[in-house]
Structure 1
Amino acid sequence: MVTGDSSGRPLLSLGGLGTEEISEICDIAYRFGQAPREFAGALDGTRVGLVFTAPSTRTRISFWCAARTLGCDVLHVGPADLQLSTGETWSDTGLMLANYLDVVVARTNGPQRELAELAVHVPATINALTYEEHPTQAIADLCALREHFGDVENLRLAYLGAVNNTARALALLVCKLPFGGLDVYSPADLGFSAAEIESLNAVRGREMIRQYEEMPTSVDPVDAVYTARWNSMSEVQQDRDWLSRYAPFAVTAETMKRFSGSTEAVFMHDLPAVRGQETTSDVLDGTSVTSLVRRQAHYKESAAASALLWSVGGS
């Protein structure tokens, strides 16, 4: 096992990392995405637990694939395998896991504090998605943008739809790295809170995040338009008319034209998608616009590998 500090370090939120740390993680991810075989066996023998208490396709499989490439021994742990369902706390669960695992990769769909409790006992705890944030998705997104544009400096993005964990990670990425800014278009009461926007803009000391509650006739052009599944956490919607509230924020080929300036805006989506809701198939598949969706999915494994390497101190 190639490690620095044997206790490891957590990757719970991009908000807790400095610009240099995020750049380091993203550089590793980009390099892995170009030549994964160069990293083969880098974490040979490291014991990784994939603790997924919520459904996952891409994130779980990408972490498994990355861990296997790095030479890790991997254990899958589902909700039926844990005593959380019988009342045990995340802290007590972490106390037990610390005896057997070097790294815990956890997806909970729950509050961030659960992983913080886990990380007290297993320092190398990686957030593979909580209700608040999806940091490794942002790392994959950055790799796809870097591949397409060459550099992210001064790139401006637009995010359409309700703010969720993906949007929060994306906003942190924009504010921590030299992006030009992020324009958020969300239905009323479904965007960032005023306190969140103030906190995000304070990172760079200027207005990086702008938010709108409707789709105006004229929009400022951007380099990339990002959307996500409207009902991303599969929550029961209390508003029976929720689909009509979201409808103006759907991304179509016409939407992409509106957001394009002197150059064509590219399309991004974290997947899974509901075709015909948040976007149309021609946009998602890239038949009418330039879509980075497949490259985002490609870099999911890269983001997972970089998170594992960084958390255990692997070079």
Structure 2
Amino acid sequence: MPKDARPVRHLISLDDLSDAELRHLVGRSAAFAAGTADAGRPLAGLVTGVYFAKTSTRTRTAFSAGTLRLGGSLIAYGPGDLQTNTGETSEDTGRVLSRMLDVLVARTAGDPREMRAWARQQRMAVINAMSAEEHPTQALTDLTTLYQHFGRLDGLRVLYLGEGNNTATALALALTRYPGVELELRTPPGYGLPTALAQRAARQAASCGAVLRESHTMAALPGDFDVVYTTRWQTTGTAKADPDWRAVFAPFQVRADLWADSPKAVFLHDLPAHRGEEVTAEVLDGPMSLAFEQAENKMHSAMAVLEWCRGAGED
């Protein structure tokens, strides 16, 4: 099978992106959202495989629709379709798929080393649509939504409430690259950011002039935030061992009274949402919520990532 001559890039972690590449992808996503991107059909003649071992509405639809809008074709795989289920190694699976596909978009909710194994070739781009520790394309969507609304990312003050899950990790790894950003995470005790990832984000913040703070209580919460963000309490593909975990999470619910000290803050949620659990309906469906614009931006960010991974759309 003849392969496209353009370079292949993988996006498995935000660490795979330089600062310039991160800014390019956010800017390009915003251009797609605004309808000002002259994209053409950079995926014409190329095939994207979409493999989701865990449920997905937004991310799967975003990459599927994005591929079609950029002129590509699709093959979809379900959780039981690959021979890794019968013992084939991840390395062999990647070698085989790379001889038939040009891009593989994968959600495993497991160890990202499986995706790294698939990426040990330079014929097929591999895109992480969520692993256990990081959700990089969600962070690109989040940054695109904030850039679209504020016209900047530098200097924003962001409050994140809830579990230190893969969305929170990606948000921390992305926002701490922007000077003047203050990211305040309030996570339930026992459910904070993974230590190694928190340390990576903290080092990055220190080198970029950003601030990262994490606390496991809602006491002494500062105000004047630009953004309030939460995610569902039951992260996709996971379960909590503690039967009383909901009582631990309850103080971290996003309610309208948070806006008393941050009256101009916008609200983000990566969806799906459970009204009455992590967020009240008053907030999610209220005038400060950008959650559904954020969901739409998943497609625009997917398009930016797809063309970048195939060496198109460069500034």
Query: When the two structures are superposed, what TM-score results if normalisation uses the length of structure 1?
Result: 0.92
Q: Indicate which of 213, 229, 236 corresponds to 1:226.
A: 229
Query: Aligned pair in 2 of structure 1 residues 36, 45: CA closer, same or farther (>3 Å)?
Result: farther
Query: Aligned pair in 2 of structure 1 residues 284, 32: CA closer, same or farther (>3 Å)?
Result: same
Structure 1 residues 132-175: Cα deviation after superposition (integer angstroms, max 9, x where no partner): 11111111111111111111110010110111111111001111
Letter paired with 2:77: V
2:199 matches 1:201: no
Structure 1 residues 59-112: Cα deviation after superposition (integer angstroms, max 9, x where no partner): 001111110000001111112221121122221111110110011111111111
Alpha-carbon separation, structure 1, partners of 2:75 and 2:297: 22
Count of residue pairs the alignment pairs up: 308
TM superposition shift of 1:5: 5.3
Q: For residue 192 of structure 1, what is the aligned residue in structure 2? A: 193
Query: Structure 1 regions of 5+ residues with no counterpart?
Result: none
Q: For residue 104 of structure 2, what is the aligned residue in structure 1? A: 104
Contact 2:31 2:37 in 1 (8 A): no
Q: Percent identity?
A: 39
Letter paired with 1:8: V
Q: For residue 133 of structure 1, what is the aligned residue in structure 2? A: 134
Query: Aligned pair in 2 of structure 1 residues 179, 50: CA closer, same or farther (>3 Å)?
Result: farther
RMSD: 1.8
Q: Indicate which of 288, 308, 311 corresponds to 2:306.
A: 308
Query: Aligned pair in 2 of structure 1 residues 175, 220: CA closer, same or farther (>3 Å)?
Result: same
TM superposition shift of 1:6: 3.5
Q: Map residues 262-281 of structure 1 onto 2, 5 A cutoff.
A: 263-281=263-281
Q: For residue 68 of structure 2, what is the aligned residue in structure 1? A: 68
Deviates more, 1:176-185 or 1:34-43: 34-43
Query: Aligned pair in 2 of structure 1 residues 312, 44: CA closer, same or farther (>3 Å)?
Result: same
2:233 matches 1:235: no
Contact 1:265 1:290 in 2 (8 A): yes
Q: For residue 299 of structure 1, what is the aligned residue in structure 2? A: 297
Letter paired with 2:9: R
- Partner SS, residue 120 of structure 1: coil
Q: For residue 148 of structure 1, what is the aligned residue in structure 2? A: 149
Query: Aligned pair in 2 of structure 1 residues 131, 17: CA closer, same or farther (>3 Å)?
Result: same
Alpha-carbon separation, structure 2, partners of 1:301 and 1:236: 28
Alpha-carbon separation, structure 2, partners of 1:209 and 1:4: 41
Alpha-carbon separation, structure 1, partners of 2:74 and 2:164: 33
Alpha-carbon separation, structure 2, partners of 1:246 and 1:160: 10
- Partner SS, residue 81 of structure 1: coil
Q: For residue 90 of structure 1, what is the aligned residue in structure 2? A: 90
Query: Structure 2 regions of 5+ residues with no counterpart?
Result: none
Structure 1 residues 14-51: Cα deviation after superposition (integer angstroms, max 9, x where no partner): 12321101011111111111117832422211111111
TM superposition shift of 1:197: 2.9
Q: Greater helix percent: which structure? A: 1
Query: When the two structures are superposed, what TM-score results if normalisation uses the length of structure 2?
Result: 0.92
